[in-house]
C-alpha cells in the first residue's frame, strides 16, 4: 500500500497493511533530529519514521498593516488578520503574545461590519499544488485554526465567552462570517490540490484540562451548524473531516459524530478520553488520531514506557488490524522529549 492508500484504508476500516502514522513537532525538534541523523531535509525524517501524512497550506501573500514599536520597546507585528503580535525568544524558542486584538470591545453588528476579513485572493494556492505533486503517494492534510480558535485571536477569549452570553446574535454573526471565510479559502485549497487532499482538520480547542469550556447546549447553539458546514465541505471534495480539539471534550464526541465528523484528535489523557473508553463507546463510529501523551510519557517516560503506550493504543483502537486509528503524539512534540523516546514512538511495530 502507498501511504495514501494506507491512511484511507484506516479511516474506512478497510484493513490497512499497518497502522498509519503522522508526525508533528516544533521547529526546534525537527532541527535537533536533522542534526542527530545527519539529514539535510524533512523528507528524510518522514522516510526514517515511516510517516504517511504530509501537511500543506496556502500562505498569505497580501498586504499587512505596518508594524510599530510599543512603549515597552517591543515590536508589534501584524498578521493577515490585523492581529498585533509580539514575538519573544526564550532559550531559542519563539513565543507569541497578542498586543492588539482587532475586535476588542466588539458590541454591535456595525462594529463587526467595519472589520475586514482577509481577502481569499491574497493567498498562494500554488504552494498547495506543489506539495501535492511532490508527495503523490502520501496522504495530504490541510487545516489551521478553526472558526472558534481564530475568533479568540481577534478578541480575548474571556471577552468572546462573555459575548456568547451577553450578545448571542453578534456572536453568531461573527462566527458565520468566520466560517464564510474558511469555506471560501478551503474551497480554493481543495481546487488547487485537485482531489489530492485526504484530511481536512480545523483546530478548535473546546476543552480545558478538566472540562468543556462551555455547556453542550451552548456548543450546539454556536458551533453545531458550522461544524456540519465544514464537514460537508470536506466530503464534497472527497476528503475526511478531522476535528482537532484539545482538552476534556469527551461529552462532545456524540455531537461531532452527529455533525458528520469522521476523525478525532488529539486524544489527551483526560477524563473519558482513555483508549479503552473511546473504543468501547465510539469504535467504528469515528476514527482516532494521536494520543501518545506529550505531557508525561513522552517527555518523562522511558523508551519502554513509550513502546508500551504505543502498543496499547494500536491494540485498543486498531484491533485485529481492521483500521480506525492513526498513530501520533497527542500534540506537536516539544523540545523536552528525548530523541530516544521519539525513536521508540515510531519504531514500535505497527
Residue extents of the structural domains in the chain: 3-60+102-347
pLDDT mean across residues, the chain: 96
In this prediction, residue 90 carries a pLDDT of 85
pLDDT at 65 over 90: yes
Closest CA to 62 of 77, 81, 86: 81
Closest CA to 329 of 209, 301, 280, 139: 301
| Mean pLDDT, residues 57-82 | 95
Pick from 49-53, 143-147, 187-191, 198-202: least confident: 143-147
pLDDT at 56 over 90: yes
pLDDT digits (tens, 9 = 90+) for 153-189: 999 999 999 999 999 999 999 999 999 999 999 999 9
Residue 315 CB coordination number (10 Å): 13
Considering the entire predicted model, what is its pTM? Answer: 0.96
Q: Is the dihedral of CA 292, 189, 109, 67 positive or negative?
A: positive
In this prediction, residue 94 carries a pLDDT of 85
| Mean pLDDT, residues 81-94 | 90
Cell output for 131: 506539495
In this prediction, residue 91 carries a pLDDT of 79
pLDDT at 286 over 90: yes
Cell output for 54: 504530509
pLDDT digits (tens, 9 = 90+) for 307-344: 999 999 999 999 999 999 999 999 999 999 999 999 99
pLDDT at 274 over 90: yes
pLDDT digits (tens, 9 = 90+) for 215-265: 999 999 999 999 999 999 999 999 999 999 999 999 999 999 999 999 999
Residue 271 CB coordination number (10 Å): 14
Report the alpha-carbon angle 311-301-17, nearest 5: 20
In this prediction, residue 291 carries a pLDDT of 97
* Domain 3-60+102-347 is found in CATH 3.30.565.10: no
pLDDT at 92 over 90: no
What distance in Å separates the CA atoms of residue 15 and residue 1, rounded to the nearest whole number? 11
pLDDT digits (tens, 9 = 90+) for 188-218: 999 999 999 999 999 999 999 999 999 999 9
Amino acid at each position: 500500500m502507498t501511504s495514501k492508500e494506507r491512511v484511507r484504508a484506516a479511516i474506512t476500516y478497510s484493513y490497512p497493511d499497518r497502522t498509519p502514522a503522522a508526525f508533528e513537532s516544533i521547529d526546534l525538534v525537527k532541527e535537533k533530529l536533522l542534526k542527530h541523523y545527519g539529514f539535510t531535509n524533512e523528507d528524510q525524517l518522514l522516510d526514517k519514521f515511516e510517516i504517511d501524512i504530509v501537511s500543506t497550506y496556502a500562505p498569505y501573500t497580501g498586504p499587512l498593516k505596518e508594524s510599530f514599536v510599543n512603549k515597552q520597546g517591543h515590536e508589534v507585528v501584524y498578521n493577515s488578520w490585523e492581529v498585533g503580535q509580539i514575538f519573544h525568544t526564550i532559550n531559542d524558542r519563539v513565543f507569541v503574545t497578542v498586543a492588539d486584538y482587532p475586535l476588542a470591545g466588539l458590541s454591535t453588528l456595525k462594529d463587526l461590519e467595519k472589520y475586514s476579513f482577509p481577502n481569499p485572493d491574497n493567498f498562494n494556492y500554488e504552494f498547495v499544488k506543489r506539495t501535492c505533486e511532490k508527495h503523490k503517494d502520501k496522504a495530504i492534510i490541510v487545516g489551521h485554526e478553526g472558526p472558534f480558535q481564530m475568533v479568540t485571536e481577534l478578541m480575548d477569549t474571556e471577552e468572546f465567552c462573555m459575548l456568547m452570553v451577553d450578545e448571542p446574535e453578534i456572536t453568531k454573526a461573527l462566527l458565520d462570517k468566520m466560517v464564510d471565510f474558511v469555506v471560501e479559502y478551503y474551497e480554493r485549497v481543495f481546487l488547487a490540490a485537485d482531489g489530492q487532499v485526504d484530511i481536512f482538520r480545523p483546530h478548535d480547542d473546546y476543552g480545558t484540562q478538566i472540562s468543556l469550556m462551555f455547556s453542550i447546549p451552548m456548543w450546539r447553539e454556536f458551533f453545531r451548524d458550522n461544524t456540519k458546514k465544514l464537514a460537508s465541505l470536506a466530503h464534497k471534495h472527497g476528503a475526511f473531516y478531522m476535528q482537532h480539539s484539545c482538552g476534556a471534550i469527551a461529552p462532545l464526541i456524540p455531537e461531532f459524530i452527529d455533525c458528520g465528523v469522521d476523525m478525532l484528535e488529539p486524544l489527551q489523557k483526560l477524563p473519558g478520553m482513555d483508549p479503552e473508553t473511546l473504543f468501547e463507546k465510539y469504535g467504528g463510529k469515528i476514527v482516532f488520531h494521536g494520543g501518545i501523551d506529550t505531557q508525561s510519557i513522552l517527555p518523562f517516560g522511558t523508551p519502554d514506557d513509550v513502546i508500551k503506550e504505543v502498543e496499547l493504543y494500536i491494540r485498543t483502537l486498531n484491533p485485529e488490524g481492521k483500521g480506525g486509528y492513526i498513530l501520533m503524539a497527542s500534540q506537536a512534540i516539544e523540545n523536552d522529549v528525548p530523541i530516544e523516546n521519539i525513536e521508540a514512538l515510531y519504531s514500535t511495530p505497527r
